[in-house]
Amino acid sequence: MTVLILTCEEDVTADMVVVHLNASGVPVVRLDPADLPGGVALSGEYVHGRFRGHLQSAGRLVSIAGLRSVWVRRPGEAAARAAQPSAWLTEESTQALYGMLRGSDARWMNHPDAARRARHKPWQLRLAQRCGLPVPATLITTFPQAAREFADRYPDLVVKPVSGAHPQDPPRAVPTSRVAPDTDFSAVAFGPTLLQRRVGKRADIRLTVVGERLLAARKATADDADPDDPGAVDVRFASADIPWRAADVPPRIADAVRSYLREAELAYGAFDFAEDADGTWWFLECNQSGQFGFVEVETGLPIARTIAEWLADPGPEPQTRVNGSSTTVC
Amino acid sequence: MQPFALNYARPAATLEATTPYVYDSGLQLNVLMDGRVAAGDLALLRELGTTTSTAGSKTHFDD
């Protein structure tokens, strides 16, 4: 049984997992949907009530029935590198590839439907609340007056994109940023705006969850950090001088994040928390495909190995009914 | 008429340096010029920052 990895060639973080799969002798097929059609080929036949499907990439041919798991890591857009790319060809290729894969019995990390839903930050906040995770007071609005009133209640605010996406024309980043108390909120009318009470943090937490395994890392905030410095607000812009260190997970948080992933139907999630002066972990977001390589490189936490073990796990054996008795299919 | 959040935008970070490894479709891994697997050189990965969570990714918004 083969592990299928959907990712781009330059994804060296995926390599960290492939190395472990190779070492354990688990067959792997890695491909980028951007190369379909072209470097990647597929065929699926629905005849006489049965389905037989195959994928081919770089000389490897794999039966869709022979997949044990599918890891959706950093796949390119289907047909992006086709000889004559088009939106129509992308849709055709996307439907063919993911449509066939959805018909397999393979385990997903993560299933596309669950992944799409899990990207919605408002949905994340609500699920986190329901799972018992502390969530900073948050407002998402296009009403400038609502933003002003929220700022009156919570004078120390940050703003961040609702989607987590960044504008590309021209390419820009929108880091989580502190909002000055006397800010003019009139531009809130021009786009949904996410405002959140700033957590005075003493550390950032990246908690990577793989199945039931929790792997937490903590990056302390510099003692002399200027709260207006972007790096003090958004850890992605923080100084590399303070390293990530492996950390223990409070039992209540452990229970809550496991509940979160079950509810979200995710096999993998990278949670971001802000740890305040009392040691409370405030939920910021859960990236269903969040980066983990930098955490492993700095902390030595065995995240890649844990992912490889999850992908290699055959999962529950499929059962079928033959002559009235339950029989394992081999 | 710019949305409020874009008042806080900044130019996206780009990886200027070319990565010293290339994808080997036979191995399904990126390899260094001396043939070693890039993922085995954690010091190099740390230096390059290619496994790092970033903001402004052109194609992926799950950091």
Q: Decide if A316 is inside a domain.
A: no
Beta bridge mates, A25: none
Report the pLDDT value the prediction gives residue A18, as an integer from 0 to 100: 98
User: How far apart are the CA of B46 and the nearest CA of chain A, in angstroms?
Assistant: 6
Q: CB B12 to CB A166 under 8 A?
A: yes
Q: Which of A297, A298, A303, A311 to mutate to test the interface with B (most CBs of B within 10 A)?
A: A297
Closest partner residue to A15 (CB to CB) among B10, B39, B61 is B39
Reported as a single tens digit per residue, the pLDDT across A210-231 is 999 999 999 999 877 777 776 7
Residue B34 reports pLDDT greater than 50:
yes
Instruction: Supply the pLDDT for residue A225.
Output: 75
The residue of chain A nearest to residue B12, with distances taken between CA atoms, is A172
Contacts 24+ apart (CB under 8 A), B24-31: B25/A9, B25/A57, B25/A58, B25/A59, B26/A58, B26/A59, B28/A5, B28/A18, B28/A28, B28/A29, B28/A30, B28/A58, B29/A15, B29/A18, B29/A19, B30/A9, B30/A10, B30/A12, B30/A15
A120 & A233 share domain: yes
Alpha-carbon distance A324 to nearest alpha carbon in chain B (angstroms)? 44
- Tens digit of each residue's pLDDT (9 = 90 or more) over A11-37: 999 999 999 999 999 999 999 999 999
pLDDT tens for A242-294 read 899 999 999 999 999 999 999 999 999 999 999 999 999 999 999 999 999 99
Whether residues A163 and A240 share a domain: the answer is no
Among A47-61, A99-113, A219-233, the least confident range: A219-233
Query: What total of structural domains would you count in chain A?
Result: 3
Residues within 8 A of B (CB atoms), A 265-324 only = 270, 287-294, 296-298
What average pLDDT does chain A have?
92
pLDDT, position B59: 43
Q: How many CB pairs under 8 A join A and B?
A: 158
**Contact (CB<8Å) B61/A237:** no
Query: Are A132 and A146 in a shared domain?
Result: no
Do A256 and A244 belong together in one domain? yes
Residue of B23, B28, B59 to mutate when probing chain A, most A C-beta within 10 A: B28
**Interface with chain B: mutation pick from A196, A291, A303, A305, highest number of B CBs within 10 Å:** A291
Quote the CA–CA distance of A249 and A217 in Å, as a whole number: 9
Q: Please indicate whether, in this complex, the C-beta atoms of A164 and B53 are within 8 angstroms of each other.
A: no
H or E segment at A114? Answer: helix A112-118
What are the chain B neighbours of A177 within 8 Å (beta carbons)? 8
Q: Write out chain B residues lying below 8 Å of A162, CB-based.
A: 5
Task: Check CB contact under 8 Å for B4 and A175.
Answer: no
pLDDT above 70 as % of chain A: 95
The reply to whether A156 and A118 lie within a common domain is: no
A75 pLDDT more than 60: yes
In a domain, A181, yes or no: yes
pLDDT of residue B58: 44
In a domain, A309, yes or no: no
Our CA-based measurement puts residue A48 at a distance from the nearest CA of chain B, in whole angstroms, of: 36
Percent of chain A with pLDDT over 90: 84
User: Do A22 and A158 sit in the same domain of this protein?
Assistant: no
- Quickly state the pLDDT bin for A239 (edges 50, 70, 90): confident
Give the model's pLDDT for residue B15. 59
In this predicted structure, the answer to whether residue B45 has a pLDDT above a threshold of 60 is yes
The predicted pLDDT at position B48 comes to: 81
Q: What is the ipTM of this complex?
A: 0.86
Q: Domain for residue A318, yes or no?
A: no
pLDDT at B53: 67
> Is the Cα torsion angle A66, A68, A73, A78 positive or negative in sign?
positive
B54 touches chain A (CB under 8 A): yes
Please report the residues numbered 85 through 144 in chain A whose beta carbons come closer than 8 angstroms to any beta carbon of chain B. 119
pLDDT, residue B17, reads 65
Q: Evaluate the omega torsion of the peptide bond into residue B7 and state whether it is cis, within 30 degrees of 0.
A: no
Average pLDDT, stretch A175-189? Answer: 94
Q: Does A121 lie in the same domain as A265?
A: yes
Q: How many residues are present in chain A?
A: 330
Asked if B46 reaches chain A (Cβ–Cβ under 8 Å), the answer is: yes
Q: What does the pLDDT read at residue A316? A: 65
- A177 and A221, same structural domain? no
Cβ pair A75, A113 in contact under 8 A = no
Higher pLDDT, B54 or A299: A299
Which residue in B4, B29, B45 is closest to A190 by CB distance? Answer: B4
User: DSSP assignment of A303-316, as one string?
Assistant: HHHHHHHHHH---S
Q: Do B6 and A177 touch (CB under 8 A)?
A: no
Residue A20, pLDDT score: 98
Quick one: average pLDDT of A181-203?
A: 95
Q: For residue A135, which of A219, A266, A244, A253 has the smallest C-alpha distance?
A: A253
State residue A317's pLDDT score.
Answer: 59
Which of A90-99, A316-325, B47-56 has the least mean pLDDT?
A: A316-325
The verdict on A116 and A127 lying in the same domain is yes
Q: Which residues of B touch A270 (CB under 8 A)?
A: 62
**Domain residues of chain B, as ranges?**
17-52
Residue A315, domain member (yes or no): no
To the nearest whole angstrom, how far is the Cα of A153 from the nearest Cα of chain B? 19
Residues A117 and A215 in one domain: yes
Of A5, A172, A290, the CB nearest to B56: A172
pLDDT digits (tens, 9 = 90+) for A284-328: 999 999 999 999 999 999 999 999 999 999 876 554 444 444 433
A308 lies in a domain? no
- Clarify whether residues A87 and A147 are in a common domain: no
Q: What is the CATH number of the domain that holds A156?
A: 3.30.1490.20
Contact between chains at B30 and A9 (C-beta distance less than 8 A): yes
Domain hosting residue A176, numbered range: 137-198
Residue B54 confidence (pLDDT) above 90: no
Q: Does residue A159 belong to the interface with chain B, where contact is any CB pair within 8 Å?
A: yes
- Shared-domain flag, residues A203 and A150: no
Indicate the residue among A64, A92, A109 that finishes a domain: A109
